[in-house]
Amino acid sequence: MICLQVISNAGEARSQCMCALASARNGRFEEAEHCLNEASESLKKAHQIHTDLITKEANGEIQRISLILVHSEDIMMGAEITLALAREMVEMYKR
- What's the pLDDT score for residue 12? 97
Q: Which residues contact 17 (CB under 8 A, 6 or more apart)?
A: 35, 36, 39, 79, 82, 83, 85, 86
71 is catalytic: yes
Calculate what percentage of the chain has a pLDDT beyond 90: 80
Mean per-residue pLDDT over the chain, rounded: 94
Of these residues, 34, 47, 50, 71, which one is catalytic? 71
pLDDT tens-digit profile of 51-68?
Answer: 998 898 889 888 777 888
Closest CA to 24 of 14, 38, 35, 39: 35
pLDDT tens digit sequence for 18-42: 999 999 999 999 999 999 999 999 9
More confident residue, 53 or 11: 11
